[in-house]
Structure formats: C-alpha cells, structure tokens
A and B are shown apart, each in its own frame.
Chain A
Amino acid sequence: MSSQQIQTGTVKPVSPLPPSPSLGGVASLPVAAVVVEGLWSSVWKQFKRNPIALAGLYVVCFLICTALLADFLANDKPYYMHYRGKTYFPIFRSYVIGTGLTQWPAELLNVNFKKLQGSEAIFPPVPYRPTNIDLLAPYETPSPKHWFGTDRLGRDIMAGMIHGSRISLSIGFVAVGIAVIIGVVLGALAGYFGSWVDLLISRLFEVMISIPTFFLLITVAALLPPSIFLTMAIIGATGWVGIARFTRNEFLKIRSLDYVTAAIALGVSNRKVMFQHILPNALAPVIVSVVLGIAGAILVESSLSFLGIGVPAELVTWGSILHEASSATFAWWLAVFPGAAIFITVLAYYLVGEGLREVLDPRLRGLR
C-alpha cells in the first residue's frame, strides 16, 4: 500500500526538468527522510571532522564579524579623543546620534577629526570611510598609508572592502531568505497537495527555469531606481526554483510516510501537517541549496554592481571597485583585492555547502 503510494506520488505529471545527476532516481527512497532525534548535533559532529569545510565556516564567521564591526575597523572618526580638555568617544557617539538621543557638540560638527589641532586620539586601523574622497591622492599604490591603495577619487580601497562586506553579506542572507520563503511555500504546496496544484506549480518551475535569469535581472535592476534592497528582492524573487524543487521532492517522499497519514487521520489541519510535521524533516536537503544559494546571490550582486546597475552610484561595493579596474588597467590593486574578496567569500560558502551535503546526503557516504 505504502509503496504504491510512493510510486504514484513520485511520477511527475509534467515533463521533468533534467534531474541533476546527484538526484537521479532517489525519489522512491523513503528511508532517507527518517530523522532521528538530535539530527543537527550529529550533523555538527560529522561536519567538524571535515577540516576543509570547517575552514570555510571559519571564513564565513570572519566575514560576518568584519561586516558587524565595519565601523570600528574602518572609520574616519577615532575611538577615543581628548580635545580641549574634554574626552570623547566619537564612533560610539555617532551610534547614539543615529538614534536621535544626542547631537554633535558644536566644535565637532562636520569636522575632519584627523586635522583637529592639539587633540589626542586613537583611530581605527583603517582611518577612512569608503566615502572619504581625497582628490589629491588618486590611484595611489598600496602603501602603509593606504593598505590596498586608492581609487580614481582617492577613496581608500581597504575601507571600501571592509564596508563592502556588509553589502555582500546582507545581499546573501536577505536574497536567499526571500528565495527560501517563496521556494519552501510553493514546493510544500506542490508536494503536499499533488494533483492539479502540483501540475500548476511545476509548470511555473518550468517557466522560471526557462527564463534567462541573468538577463531578466539586469533588465529589472536597470529599469527600477537603483537600490540595494530592490536588488536583494529581485535576486531572491528569481532564485527560488532550486529550493522549491528540493522541497517539493522531499514533501512528495515524506507525505506518504505513515506518521503523516496518522496525523491527517487524527484531523490535524493541512497547514499544521505541512509546516509542523513535514517541513522540519524536509529541511535537511534544502539547507545545502540555501548555503550554495547565498554564494550564488553574492556572485550575482557583484556582477550587477560590476555592470553598474542595481546599486546606487555612490555606494562602494566589491563589484563596483572591480569595475573601476576595467577602465584603469594600470591600477592592478583595484582588480586584485575586491575580486579576491568575492572569490574567498564564494569559496567559503561553497566549502560549507559541500561539507553539509556530504553529511546530509546519505548517498554520498562511501563515495569518497
């Protein structure tokens, strides 16, 4: 009975998208979906044993820290300053000012902290903001003063890269967050209800797969007013198909398991069955595509800002620094550092994703 259900459940009603080779013919293995208690702790235990994946995880953590601490790593304001007999903590103060509780004292309003006479100050390791323009120092080669050199407007590249990590990080998480919401909901609906719902949603998958995504992205990004949030939304709205397909396949498998039948027989509502009973067990394979999706979103965003669309012109991102290199080919530092940052970030997410895949995908065990 149960095996027959699985059979009818897994037959795809419309032409299947080319299955990726790692997926071929597993859909009828209900065993893979059985989750014992403490899955995540056992996943972590196995993940820890893979030094390369762990290194990727460390890099991701490092990037998150850099993004969170960007204001303290690269800022034109000092941490601490003693000036005209008073002590200030300008960076901290600027946060408080951001909340509207206080204001700059008159003698510090719109001043260049580095040029204040007779002050003692401790500056961050990179004493610039990415927006500090210094027209007297365009295209400076890397030196102790500007670690990674400066660009056409004399902006410090190191500062741009530190603050750019915020953009790439938030793009990754927000865009994939949107993709996960769309993908999981649609995939769950298709897999759970089957029949015409599945038919309709699978048709939508096919349409989305056939869309020239990158072309659609540049079209939308170029037509809408440049904004980082819109870019995130667009990347998310076009990147959910993979997640939806994984979710659908998992739901198809799990739906025919006895515990789900039992839950339905007990009269649990559809929504509860879908999201409380099935979803937690369906997440494992989805997680891998989420991690890889973050890397993909970062790549897409950097390509968009490289092409000069989607992000406001004054915003410094890794992609926009890289773009400057293509018109100033002598300034090798503009090409090397931001590109390396994108590369390392993407590689780190790939490593984490691959490490997770090895742990979560039972078919890969014994392959290596």
Chain B
Amino acid sequence: MSSYIFQRLLLLIPTFIGVTLIGFLVMRLAPGDPAELRAAGGLRGAGEGALSRGKVSAVDEALMQWRAQYGLDRPLHVQYGIWLKNLFTLNFGESFKDNQPVWNKIIERVPVTTKLNIFSILLVYVVAIPLGIYSATHANSLGDRVTTLAAFILFAVPLIWAATMAIVFICGGDFLYLFPPAGLESLDYSRQWSFWQKFKDQTWHLFLPVVLLSYDGFAGLSRYMRSSMLEVLRQDYVQVARAKGLNEGIVIFKHVLRNSLIPQVTLLASLLPALLGGSVIIETIFSIPGLGQLGYESVLARDYPTVMALFSVSAILTLVGILISDLLLAVVDPRIAFGRRQQ
C-alpha cells in the first residue's frame, strides 16, 4: 500500500508541471500585455497623438522598466523556471494590481471558499445517498420514477439561471425577501453577538449559495447511486443473504450499501473541480469574497501572478481530490492496489 501511495505521489509531479505549464503558456501567449493595460488608463489613454515624441518614448521606457521589474522581458522558459522555483518556497510573487503578495490575498479568501465547498459536498452526499438508496430499493415504483425524473430535470437546470432566478424572486427585489442577495454576513455583523445570533446569520447567508452549488451534484450523484446499487442488488451474494433469512434492512444496509458506495467515492474527484468552477459563478453573483471572485477579478485585470497562483491552487486541489479518491478506492477495494503490484 505504501509503495502504491509513493508511486501515486511521484506521478503527481509531472502532471502538476503539465497543468501549470499549459496555464502559463496560455496566459503568456495570449495577445495583450499587462504593462500596456496598466498604462492604458493613464499615459497611453491621453492618446499618442497628443503626446510629443519625447513623452511617448518616456512612456515606453517606463513600461520597459515595469516589465523588467516583474521579469516579463525574459524568455518564456526562463520565466516559467523562475515561477516554478518560487513556487517551492510558496512565493507566488506580487499582484500586478495592488502590489500585495499574492499568497496573502489567497490565504485571506481560502476560508470562505472552503466553507462554501465543504458544506456543498456534505449536502451533496447527505441528499444523494439516501435518495439513491430509496430509488434503488423501490425500483420502478412511482416514488422512484418521480425522484429519478426530478433528479434528471434538476441536473439540466443551468446554475446561472437558478442563481439569477433566486436573486430576482427570493432575495429582496420586487418579490420575496427570504434570503440575502449578497455577502456572507449581515452589514451589522459584530463579534459581540451571541453564538446563536452568529450561527443564525451565517446560516441565513450561506444557505442559498450552498444549495445552488450543490443541486446538480446531488441530482447527478443520486442517479449514480441508484444504478450502482441496482447493479449490486442483482448479484448472487445478495440472493444468498436473503435466502438465508436475513431481514431486508440488514441485507440493504450491511451487504449492499457498502459495495454500492465504492463508485461514489471516486466521484469526489470530479466533484471538486466542478465546485470550484461553480464557485466562480456563485461568488460573482452573490458578491462573496472567495477564491472564485478573486479569480474572476484577476482574470479581467490580467493579473498574471494571481491568476497563475489560483490556477495552481485549484490544480493541486483537483489532483489531491483524484489522489484521495483513488486511495479510498484502494482501501475499500483491495483488488485495485493488488492489480498494480502485479505489473
């Protein structure tokens, strides 16, 4: 087992380099230059015709200096090498936007996004697993048909639509005011509040973003759960368990459930990146100061260091998600690790 883990960890390195290299190249090879963008608002904005030739060359010089300061004038492979080297010391450089260290900006926002995503993952599994069990044990009943259809329809609801409808109809506006339209805490939130007050305020603010982030997850997962459970239910050992007179509850929850949970574990890996993508949309719509919003703002501002840092953070999260689900899979299903050893 430990050699399997070691092997997997070793394989993470080339994958990570591949991912960040793609991100790096995409960003640098795209037309447009952060130095120009930075100057566009100020000096260049005055219009080149209005400036005398001397001043234009002064602007160019300033741009050159600025590029040199951030190492943008060097060849691409050198830039990438430097970036990678700095990464090992957790130095993501400084933001082009406000010269703050990128690391601090990210650390500031990690708790918010983590909170959102952990609750979402919990909600996904808490809703999907029981729903899947119900559907599979009552296969083809009316209840199963209704939940399967509902899950299917829910899965097709676009996140941007669900979120906009929520904002328009139940977040103030002209209709109902059930949930707050923005932020993670009330404006008058204070530390002096009692625990209960804080808890209520946070829950009220988190509820909608968490539900929106997770609905397609539990819709999808419940269908996977149903089909994997049905597959297990058809196997001989379930017949045997029933034939020897075990009561149905034990058959389902002790014998069937365990084996049908195996595939669900692996879905965690695909759930993580999907949640991160969803965070961009949800955090932008609900003005939640998390990583998704930071990413969106940095992309628009061509803030290379911040974008690269976020890119690597989410790549690492995704890789770790895949690793964890593979390891869990190897734990619950020993055949997988054995198969590897034989190679």
Contacts and interface: CB of A to CB of B under 8 A. Distances in A.
Interface of A: 11, 14-15, 17-22, 24, 203-204, 206-207, 209-216, 218-220, 222-225, 295, 299, 302-303, 306-307, 309, 319, 322, 325-326, 329-332, 335-336, 339-340, 342-343, 346-347, 350, 354, 367-368
8 tightest A-B CB contacts, nearest first: A339-B161, A214-B277, A21-B263, A18-B266, A223-B30, A329-B173, A207-B18, A212-B314
Interface string B282-299: 001100000000011001
Contacts of B26: 216, 219-220, 223
A302 B161 CA distance: 10
A347 B164 contact: no
Contact of A342 (B16, B158, B227, B295): B158
A309 B263 CA distance: 36
Contacts of B302: 223
Interface in B267-287: 267, 269-270, 273, 276-277, 280-281, 284-285
Given A210-B322, A211-B315, A302-B158, A223 B14 contact: no
Contacts of B160: 302-303, 306, 319, 322, 339, 342
A347 to B, nearest CB: 4
B319 A14 contact: no
Contacts of A326: 163-164, 167, 285
A212 B343 contact: no
Given A15-B326, A223-B27, A307-B281, A212 B161 contact: no
Nearest to A333: B168
A33 B174 CA distance: 58
A343 B156 contact: yes
B19 to A, nearest CB: 5
30 contacts: A11-B339, A18-B267, A18-B329, A21-B264, A203-B14, A204-B18, A206-B15, A207-B18, A210-B16, A210-B19, A210-B315, A211-B19, A212-B276, A213-B277, A216-B23, A218-B280, A223-B30, A223-B302, A224-B30, A224-B31, A295-B156, A303-B158, A303-B281, A307-B280, A309-B299, A325-B164, A339-B158, A343-B158, A346-B156, A368-B140
Contacts of B163: 326
A328 to B, nearest CB: 9
A329 B30 contact: no
Contact of A211 (B23, B156, B299): B23
Interface in B188-209: none
Interface string B326-338: 1001000000000
Nearest to B291: A215
Given A11-B339, A335-B165, 8 more contacts: A21-B264, A207-B22, A211-B23, A215-B277, A215-B311, A223-B26, A303-B159, A329-B172
Interface residues of B, number: 73
A320 to B, nearest CB: 11
Contact of A212 (B18, B269, B311): B311
A343 B311 contact: no
A330 to B, nearest CB: 5
A368 B139 CA distance: 8
Contact of B161 (A215, A322, A332): A322
Given A210-B15, A212-B276, A319-B160, A18 B32 contact: no
A204 B15 CA distance: 8
A220 to B, nearest CB: 6
Interface string B133-173: 00000001000000000001101111111011101110111
B59 interface: no
A188 B85 CA distance: 37
A221 B207 CA distance: 31
Contact of B18 (A203, A223, A342): A203
Contacts of B140: 368
A141 to B, nearest CB: 11
B175 interface: yes
Contact of B307 (A210, A211, A219): A219
B325 interface: yes
Output the residue of B32, B153, B295, B299 with the most chain A CB within 10 A. B299
Given A211-B23, A303-B281, A368-B140, A18 B322 contact: yes
B263 A24 contact: yes
Nearest to B343: A11
A216 B311 contact: yes
A336 B267 CA distance: 32
B222 interface: no
Nearest to B157: A343
B330 to A, nearest CB: 10
A325 B273 CA distance: 27
Contacts of A299: 158
Contacts of B7: 15
